[in-house]
Amino acid sequence: MLIGFGLAMALAVPWASATNYYVVASSQQPSPTWPWTNWAWAHTNLIEVVAGARDTDVVYVTNNATYWLTNKITVSYAMTVRSWGPGGILDPTNTILSGRYPSAINRHFTLNNAGATVAGFTLTKGYESSGGSIYLQNGMVTNCIIVSNVAYSSSGGGVHMLTGTGGVWNCTIRGNIASNTSGSGGGLWTQSGGPWWIANCTISANSTGYGCEGGAITAVAASTIISNCWIVSNVGSWSAGGIRLAAGAACYNSFIMGNSAECYPGAGFGFGGGLRMIGDGALIRNCLIINNHSSSHGGGIKGDWSLKIQNCTIASNVAVGSGGGYAYEQSVGSPAIENTIIWGNSGSGIYSNLYITVGTNTFTNCCTSPRIVVNSYVSDVVNTITNDPRYVNIATGDFRLQSDSPCINAGVNREWMDGTLDYYGNRRIDTFRKIVDIGAYEYLCPGTVFIGH
């Protein structure tokens, strides 16, 4: 939350030494006047204004207009470029920057300063080899709608992040494509550097080209942190319909639903409908993973190497192959799954819920059926529950626990839980019972007065 607080302050209170510049649509300004420092003198060329601004400056762009870019906008200083709506609010819906594809080949922004911020735009029809809309080497993008952009030969249909640090905050990222057979991360791609934050975003209906991963997000950079996001209805045309998490990357308190990993012509793949977790230390925690689909194994999660799954609910996912909830194969590692519900998923054969063929998987205080047994691929099973977890209402998508759920007070407490919240925003260990529940939600007795923070 510190990032959000700091960003809000930066947008609301520019530094005292800042120069404010103003941009309007050409139809609204017959005679722009240098230095463009008030609305009466406003310029109509956003690219030119940004090129002349420096550290701490703010460029305001009026709403109710579409700006047709003739080139990308490069932000190389610690400045803010933002929309201006009624009363000075951000207005992403009505402040539109178009890359003009297919008439032109432009991304919208390249940011390469850690203090650079872009806020409050609809960014559409960008088309570039990678980072169809934004190439983020350093900086922050916030309160934007990033829609219908294309990375045509590499990765990051919407946003490509590499080298530096920053992230994407409170954005809608929809309908972007990494279209080439070597392109992954239909919505976003993190390549290197970091930490990169992807937080409070809705990421939907993005896709990759044949043979690629991560319909919504491909997180290759180890220090990628995904938190409080909705990852919905994305398609990976090889694996990871929703998210591909590499070694060291993490996803917290997110909703992962309706994503699909589909095999492409001539290949027998299509695994990890919700996520593919590959690499030592890939972590998902306090997440709800439901109604995802894979055309091979792992409707909810396909795992490789030593992943960690903590306090998640994995339900109603489907695999055409095996392991509707969770599949682990192909690589040798030591996955650790704890305090997690893997229940009510479907796949083929006797391995409809879980499909484990390699590794030394450890399940601690989980709820799943059929019962997990220790074998050459499962090194340990501690306090496994096989009874129905008793969700409130599967039909309406309410996967909270009823009062008679066997998952209540059945988890194992960990140090990371101190001061953290569950998926719903309640304290992970409640004050009264002091024992964590299994799954993404903590049960609260009716009438309980609760303070989350």
| pLDDT tens track for 123-140 | 999 999 999 999 999 999
pLDDT band per the 50, 70, 90 thresholds, residue 4: very low
Is residue 63 classed exposed, middle or buried when 0-12, 13-18 and 19+ CB atoms within 10 A define those classes? buried
When pLDDT is cut at 50, 70 and 90, the band that residue 6 belongs to is very low
Q: Which of 84-98, 151-165, 171-185, 273-287 has the lowest mean pLDDT?
A: 171-185
Counting every residue written for the chain, the total comes to: 453
CB 189 within 8 A of CB 178: yes
On the question of pLDDT at 10 being above 50, the answer is no
Selected residue with higher pLDDT from 108 and 322: 108
Give the pLDDT confidence score for residue 375 in this predicted structure: 73
Query: pLDDT, tens digit, for every residue of 238-284?
Result: 889 999 999 999 999 999 999 999 876 555 578 999 999 998 899 99
Question: Among 222-236, 263-277, 310-324, which stretch is predicted with the lowest mean pLDDT?
Answer: 263-277
Mean pLDDT of 173-184: 89
The CA distance from 46 to 21, in Å, is 10
- Regarding pTM above 0.75, the answer is yes
Structural domains in the chain, CATH included, are 60-401 (2.160.20)
Query: From CA 97, how far away is CA 175, in angstroms rounded?
Result: 16
* CA atoms within a 13 Å half-sphere pointing along the CA-CB vector of 95: 24
| Whether the Cβ atoms of residue 279 and residue 252 lie closer than 8 Å to each other | no
What average pLDDT does range 409-430 have in this prediction? 93
Question: In this predicted structure, what is the pLDDT of residue 266?
Answer: 54
Measured CA to CA, the distance from residue 300 to residue 89 in angstroms comes to 39
Please give the mean pLDDT across all residues of the chain.
91
Residue 267: predicted pLDDT:
54
The count of other CB atoms within 10 Å of the CB of residue 415 is 5
* Token representation of residue 331: 């690589």
